[in-house]
Amino acid sequence: MTKTLITRRSVLAGTGALLAAPSIRPSMAQSAPIRIGVLHSLSGTMAISETALRDTVLMMVEYQNSRGGLLGRRLEAVVVDPASNWPLFAEKARELLQVHKVDVTFGCWTSVSRKSVLPVFEELNGMLFYPVQYEGEEESRNIFYTGAAPNQQAIPAVEYLMSADGGDAKRIALLGTDYVYPRTTNRILRGFLNSKGIADADIMEEYTPFGHSDWQGIVARVKRFAAEGKKTAIVSTINGDANIPFYRELGNQGIKAEEIPCVAFSVGEEELAGIDTRPLVGHLAAWNYFMSVQSPANTRFLELWRAYIRNPRRVTNDPMEATYTGFSMWAQAVAQAGTTAVDAVRTAVIGQKFDAPAGYTEEMLPNHHLSKPVMIGEVQADGQFNIVWKTQNAVPAENWSQFIPENANRRRG
Amino acid sequence: MRRIAILLLVLLAPLAGHAQDAFEAALAGLGGGFAQQAEAAERLGMLGDPRAVPILRALSDGRLLRAGDGALLVREGDRNTFALTGAAAEISGAEPVRINNRVRAALRGALGRLSLVSPDQAERLAAAEAVFRSRAAENIPLLEAALARENVARIRERMELALAASRLAAGDEAAKRAGIAELGASASTEARAVLLESRAAAPALAAEIDAAVTAIDRRLAIRHAAETFFQGLSLGSVLLLAALGLAVTFGVMGVINMAHGEFVMLGAYTTFVMQEALRGIPALAPWSLPLSVPAAFLVAAACGAVLERGLIRHLYGRPLETLLLTFGVGMMIQQAVRLGFGAQNREVTSPPWMQGTLELAFGVTVTQNRLWILVFSLLVLGLTVAAIHLTRFGLEMRAVTQNRRIAAAMGIRTGRVDAFTFAFGSGIAGIAGVALSQIDNVSPNLGSGYIIDSFMVVVFGGVGSLAGTLVGAMSLGVVNKVLEPYAGVVLAKVFVLVAIMLFIQRRPRGLFALRGRAAEQ
């Protein structure tokens, strides 16, 4: 397994910043740098999504250094590649904490990789910022979750489908990839739908392996499921590149968004970048940020990203925004605590507020999750999303879902 | 209620001499909020003014713009016209009007009403479809008039269904009954949905509706069975394509080639390269997919020949070493492609004739891409059989397979035949990659998803038998698809694997046992 200690570009940029501003921060070069661990898959099935998150962290390190670093110290990224291999995530996390002695780590995409590194971060008292929407049911003192909990994505999306604007859906097909995130999310959604008076007979649930490509049977069954005289919608927790043949089959079998809309929780701008979206116009995605958001903070974010990546075709998406927000909050907390020591920074991170690109002020809550706005976007022909619905305010995260019966006795975050 | 109110409005409007104003007023609503837009589209549909058609169509295609002062413009190519007057507009900074699914449904209904008598057949068909979906009693006279002058059978059929659905939405009992009877005589899933939807609203007619639904279900059962069978054949055709090359290299030569999947992947990437290379040549661009077939064959065959001459021939008779070696080579090819093309998936576009569905007899619909791949797989099988049984190369290949020494004594250069056979099998894998690029993601790990399935098909069908490969692939495909609705995708595959294991226990040589180099061991 190869590992890269910081990319060439960020070294150049970092040195550039040092050379350009030696008089401003003379102490910066002398003291030991603050080390930032980057734990994202750069090869294997998840590389498609996670590579952009590595780029986002490196962009933030470069940006922070150009502003004079933190506490008068330079920031240095330590990039490792866990290669979409879940046990390797734990080994790499240990390497980051024990060998490279990183002060904070940004990483993981799939829930299974996060579950794999969690004991390592707890044992060695590290700090991980996890930037992806997930199924909840977790709260570690060593992890900050900057993506959405189910009440900030899945439930509002289904509520939208059941509203007049979303098409008054009365029957729901839950399609997902076969692993912990889709199964837990669908369990929560089933509880929610039952509480709204939708019987189990009106819910269809199917799972497929990672990378599934033969969708003809499932899509045909969804069509039949929709012929019961009740408005039907699809809720997709399909992950990774299986989405492409899935959407192609929806198009080929003539499923129109105005007949059977499909709302996805893991399809964003980055995933749509490689496909012809014209047959998909009108299908939906629920996130807490879209690249098409109009806000001054998003304009700054996009400018920063374009200046760093220098490729006009590269897009931004929700987990990138969550990485950006998480990094900014961590930097604020370090500045406030005056140290990078994990325990001091943890106390300081809670309560941090940040004007996020989503256009709302987000706050880190005591349950280590964020308050975030919820947005529903419709796919457009150019691969971007047209925001058709969003919440008035940022919604606080409920990581322990009230729709899972076992959580009845838990404290609410 | 709203529809009736609008109808009254429409009926009264000409009396008051406000037709012009009604059109103008409704048009303005298209620039408003989603609810307002939907209502405006419905009103424009009811007004029946043909001027609305291009405007509604522009809105549905995202070509309707709103200028700073609220005026609506239609974009045609690179020039804009005012929606209301049709005069050319020189306004910059106009933003496209956005819509949501609710507006889209209203637009489709309105456009359907307005284009029921369009001179264009495709438009009339789409209109009949749209009116069927919007099903309103007000559409009855329109549909009756359109039916009276319609003479295309397919469109008539859709219009009659639309009429039946609209009658079901009408107020009076007799019309409703007529609608139920007509819908019940069809074999359409949509008709079934419409009937069940109206069931709650008309408890008095519940018994009749149930009878009609049962009648539809009887007809649909046969169609669903046919469609499931086709899906099974389609899955079988994919398995057949993936396994055919292996049937030659493993079945005939006895080489366990774990890099087989990577040759499939190379074929898919060749398709991508051809598509990009021919993009600049307009005359050839539409033919990039058919032209990829020989190209992919050559690329994969060349790689196969190099692999056989360079490495595998030194390891004949040592299956474990061959397995490990080809496994390693497979990983190297994968990584090389990842370095050359990047880890991101590459997009291979489908030509128009491979998109959408095709309606066969009795309303059985199949997706075009799957149908073409089924035809293509049989064609490739036919060509392979012909190459083995009708050409001199095939004769030599069979001779070497049956008895290497005697073949050599007859003057056949066995080493060269080995190389050609391996290259031939690899080339077929490349061709499979062209087909798979249409239904799967073109990524460096494309091939690894098919290698197990390919071995499964070859072993199940009988090592060394092409007929066995065909029957094996198709029966596995059909069994898989028949089980899928009951067991789910993951479990269905597990069941099939268990069934194959049990079968191999009883018949270790597979369905069609043949004599060959592999069988002699």
Q: Read off the pLDDT band of B3 (50, 70, 90).
A: low
Mean confidence (pLDDT) of chain B: 87
**Burial of A294: CB neighbours in 10 Å, binned 0-12, 13-18, 19+:** exposed
Which residues in chain B are contacts of A207 at CB distance < 8 A? 488-490
* pLDDT on residue B19: 57
Q: Which of A2, A208, A258, A389 is the best mutation test for B, with the most CBs of B within 10 A? A: A258
Is A124 touching B (CB cutoff 8 A)?
no
Q: Write the residue in A42, A244, A388 that is nearest to B441 by C-beta.
A: A244
Which residues in B112-128 are b (16+ Cβ under 10 Å) and which e?
Answer: bbbbbebeeeebbbbbb
CB-based contact B489 A386, cutoff 8 Å: no
Question: Tens of pLDDT along B86-129?
Answer: 888 877 778 888 888 889 989 999 998 888 888 888 889 889 88
Contact A165 B98 (CB under 8 A): no
Nearest Cα of chain A lies from the Cα of B507 at a distance, in angstroms, of 30
Contact A58/A38 with Cβ under 8 angstroms? yes
| Residue A47 contacts B, CB cutoff 8 Å | yes
- How far is B463 from chain A, CA to nearest CA, in Å? 26
Top-confidence residue, B77 or A8:
B77
Residue in this structure with the two tokens 């399909």, named with its chain if needed: A238
Q: How would you class B75 by CB atoms within 10 Å of its CB: exposed for 0-12, middle for 13-18, buried for 19 or more? A: middle
The interface predicted TM-score (ipTM) is 0.84
Query: Chain B contacts of A226, Cβ < 8 Å?
Result: 193
Nearest CA among B110, B162, B130 for reference residue B6: B110
B129 touches chain A (CB under 8 A): no
pLDDT for the residue numbered A389? 93
Closest-CA distance, A386 to chain B, in angstroms, reads: 8
Smallest CA–CA distance from B344 into chain A, residue: A48
Name the residue in chain A with its Cα closest to that of B35: A165
Q: What is the pLDDT of residues B12-67, one digit of tens each?
A: 444 444 556 788 888 888 988 898 999 999 999 888 888 888 899 999 888 898 88
* Chain B residues within an 8 Å CB radius of A49: none
Q: pLDDT value at position A18?
A: 43
Q: Which CATH superfamily does the domain covering A151-292+374-409 fall into?
A: Response regulator (3.40.50.2300)
Within 8 A of A218 by CB-CB distance, chain B residues are 484, 489
Position A2 scores a pLDDT of 42
Could you say which residues from 353 to 382 on chain B have a Cβ atom under 8 Å away from some Cβ of chain A? 355-357, 365, 367-370
Instruction: Determine the pLDDT at residue B514.
Output: 62
- Nearest CB neighbour to A257, from listed B101, B338, B488: B101
Residues of B in contact with A282 (CB under 8 A): 100-101, 104
Q: State whether residue B102 sits within 8 Å of chain A by CB.
A: yes
- Closest by Cβ to B347, choosing from A213, A257, A275: A275
Instruction: State pLDDT tens for residues B138-179.
Output: 888 888 888 888 888 888 988 998 999 888 888 788 888 888
Looking at the complex, report in whole angstroms how far the Cα of residue B403 sits from the nearest Cα belonging to chain A.
42
Q: Of chain B residues 251-310, which have a CB less than 8 A from chain A?
A: none
Are the C-beta atoms of B384 and B428 separated by less than 8 Å? yes
Residue among B8, B16, B64, B17 nearest B41 (CA): B64
CATH class of A3-147+293-371: alpha beta
User: Taking the domains of chain A in order of start, what are their residue ranges?
Assistant: 3-147+293-371, 151-292+374-409
- Give the pLDDT of residue B441: 87
Residues in B closer than 8 angstroms to A227, CB to CB, are: 189-190, 192-193, 196
Q: Does B114 reach chain A within 8 Å, measured CB to CB?
A: no
Do B37 and B29 contact (CB within 8 A), yes or no? yes
Among the ranges given (A283-297, B296-310, B460-474), the one the predictor scored with the smallest mean pLDDT: B460-474
A:379-408 residues touching chain B, CB 8 A cutoff = 380-381, 386, 388
pLDDT at B332 over 60: yes
pLDDT mean over B268-282: 93
- Interface A-B, measured as beta-carbon pairs within 8 A, has a size of 128
CA distance to partner chain A, nearest, from residue B136 (Å): 16
pLDDT in tens, A274-301: 677 887 889 999 999 999 999 999 999 9
Q: Do B449 and A241 touch (CB under 8 A)?
A: no
> In chain A, which among 221-260 make CB contacts under 8 A with chain B?
221, 223-224, 226-230, 241, 244-245, 248-249, 251-254, 257-259
Going from the C-alpha of A127 to that of each of A121, A271, A372, B10, the distances in angstroms are: 7, 29, 21, 67
The C-alpha of B227 sits at a distance from chain A's nearest C-alpha, in angstroms, of 9
Please check the confidence at residue B249 and state whether its pLDDT lies above 80.
yes
Give A54 to chain B, closest Cα distance, Å: 14
Residues 380-439 of B with CB under 8 A from A: 439
On chain B, the residues whose CB falls within 8 A of the CB of A50 are none
Tokens of A287: 């996130």
pTM recorded for the entire structure? 0.85
For chain A, say whether B445 makes contact (Cβ under 8 Å). yes
Q: Please give the pLDDT value at position B171.
A: 75
Share of chain B above pLDDT 70, in %: 94
The partner residue sitting opposite A227, judged by closest CB among B34, B189, B350, is: B189
Cβ contact B432:B469 at 8 Å? no
Q: What residue of B is the nearest CA neighbor of A275? A: B347
A251 CB neighbours in chain B (<8 A) are 355
pLDDT tens, chain A, 413 aa long: 444 444 444 444 444 444 444 444 444 555 899 999 999 998 777 777 888 999 999 999 999 999 999 999 999 999 999 988 899 999 999 999 999 999 999 999 999 999 999 999 999 999 999 999 999 999 999 999 999 999 999 999 999 999 988 889 999 999 999 988 999 999 999 999 999 999 999 999 999 998 898 999 999 999 999 988 899 999 999 987 788 889 889 988 888 898 899 999 988 898 887 677 887 889 999 999 999 999 999 999 999 999 999 988 889 999 999 999 999 999 999 999 999 999 999 999 999 999 999 999 999 999 999 999 999 999 998 889 999 999 999 999 999 999 988 887 765 44
Interface of A with B in 83-102 (CB under 8 A): none
Q: Which of A328, A311, A310, A331 is nearest to A320 (CA)?
A: A328
Hey, do A3-147+293-371 and A151-292+374-409 end up sharing a CATH topology, with the first three levels equal? yes
Q: What is the mean pLDDT of residues B215-235?
A: 91
Burial class (CB in 10 A: 0-12, 13-18, 19+), B215: middle
CB contact under 8 A, B344 and A223: no
C-beta atoms surrounding B512 within 10 Å? 18
| Closest CA–CA distance from residue B283 to any residue of chain A (Å) | 22
Q: How far apart are CA A24 and CA A16, in angstroms?
A: 14
For chain B positions 43-82, those within 8 Å of chain A (CB to CB) are 62
Backbone angles phi, psi at A28, to 5 degrees: -60, -40
* pLDDT value of residue B204: 82
Residues of A in contact with B368 (CB under 8 A): 252
User: Which among A167, A229, A248 has CB closest to B101?
Assistant: A167
Choose the closest CB to A217 out of B197, B343, B481.
Answer: B481
Using CB atoms, pick whichever of A167, A241, A249 lies closest to residue B102.
A167
Structural domains present in chain B: 223-520 (1.10.3470)
pLDDT tier for residue B280 given thresholds of 50, 70 and 90: confident
Residue in B62, B104, B227 nearest the CB of A220: B227
